[in-house]
Amino acid sequence: MLVTTDYNRQNAVEYARKWAFSRNPLFYNFAGIGGDCTSFISQCIYAGCCEMNYQPENGWYYRSLEDRSPSWSGVSFFYQFMVTNQLNGPYAVESYAGGLELGDVIQLQNDMGRFYHTLLVTGFEDGTYLVSAHTDDAYNRRLDTYQYADARYLHITGIREYKKDEKSCFSNFYNGISFYG
């Protein structure tokens, strides 16, 4: 049975802290083939929900380099999944610049109108967000130190999940042992 639950923001931030400057061995490092930022943020969000959506066309999941959804590692696909997901997994709404909490997501846009980078909110300081990311690895970097033309802000509003043992899932995933509890 599908139930709606809260997103565990603290787990997402803890995962970002642990893996911001290294790589979880469960995942391929996309840095050499377009960037690892969205995959890392997907990992952080997964740490906060322990629920993947295995829909072949429009899901959000990672099993291996060869078996993953475009939304797991692609900036635009990630956005589409988060704001349109009606099935299991996390879901989000586009928010405004000041409307984010810990564990929410910011995507940066370049001068040509292309969204190219995905960041996780991991703190707040002097009126700006502190963010974490891969590719240009960062933990609690000030958002105002990035060069970008515009941004979009995603507030994760909840998780639709099949009931399971969340504590076991987070512990195994956080420590790079497995995806499952």
Give per-residue pLDDT as tens, 66-95.
999 999 999 999 999 999 999 999 999 999
pLDDT higher than threshold 90 for residue 170: no
pLDDT higher than threshold 80 for residue 20: yes
Which two tokens mark 15? 């995962």
User: What confidence category does residue 56 fall into, taking pLDDT thresholds of 50, 70 and 90?
Assistant: confident
C-alpha 127/C-alpha 113 separation (Å) is: 25
163, burial (CB in 10 Å: exposed 0-12, middle 13-18, buried 19+): exposed
**Residue 89: left (phi > 0), alpha (psi -120 to 50), or beta?**
left
Which two tokens mark 180? 């499952």
Flag whether the pTM goes above 0.85.
yes
